[in-house]
């Protein structure tokens, strides 16, 4: 946590510089089936599918944790179901201007810590920030 170290440097950067941009997220339309959403989770390797409206507004998210909880529940899931029936319509979000330190606090100081948080400005999805993006030790691009 030394301020001159790589982690200290990342904590002082704006979230917009640390996030995975929208182009790598493969945002889903609100008509996506659960099967399409699961495939997106597997393809992007981010652990989250983000649903956006026609103007790019964030409608909700569906995480790999949501998927595990749904399949381990009583009823299971039909892969033909609409994913938006199961998404979190009110996810915790963060601004691209927030600092990495603020994001780390937001993600870790919860009853259930977050591994990923959507980055939103004026309701529009810009990308996602993973805990890994804040804590990664090596310099360079996203893993």
pLDDT of 15 reads 95
Q: How far apart are CA 54 and CA 38, in angstroms?
A: 21
Instruction: State whether the Cα torsion 44-46-51-53 is positive or negative.
Output: negative
Q: Are strands 116-121 and 58-63 parallel, antiparallel or unpaired?
A: unpaired
pLDDT per residue of the chain (143 residues) written in tens, 0 to 9: 444 456 677 788 999 999 999 888 878 888 888 888 888 888 888 889 999 998 999 999 998 888 887 777 655 666 667 878 888 999 999 999 999 999 999 999 999 899 999 999 999 999 999 999 898 744 444 44
Collapsing DSSP states into helix, strand and coil, what is residue 2? coil
Closest to 14 measured CA to CA, from 90, 121, 115: 121
pLDDT of 7 reads 60
pLDDT of 79 reads 65
Q: How far apart are CA 40 and CA 29, in angstroms?
A: 12
Question: What is the number of other CB atoms lying within 10 angstroms of the CB of residue 84?
Answer: 19
Collapsing DSSP states into helix, strand and coil, what is residue 132? helix
pLDDT of 139 reads 44
């Amino acid at each position: 946590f030394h301020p001159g170290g790589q982690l200290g440097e990342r904590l002082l950067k704006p979230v917009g510089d640390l996030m995975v941009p929208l182009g790598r997220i493969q945002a889903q339309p609100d008509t996506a089936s659960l099967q399409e959403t699961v495939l997106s989770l597997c393809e992007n390797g981010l652990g989250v599918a983000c649903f956006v409206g026609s103007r790019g507004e964030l409608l909700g998210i569906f995480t790999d944790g949501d998927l595990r909880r749904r399949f381990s529940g009583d009823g299971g899931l039909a892969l033909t179901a609409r994913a938006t029936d199961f998404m979190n319509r009110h996810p915790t979000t963060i601004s691209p201007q927030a600092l990495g330190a603020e994001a780390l606090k937001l993600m870790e100081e919860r009853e259930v810590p977050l591994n990923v948080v959507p980055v939103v400005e004026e309701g529009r999805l810009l990308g996602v920030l993973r805990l890994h993006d804040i804590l990664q030790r090596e310099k360079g691009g996203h893993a």
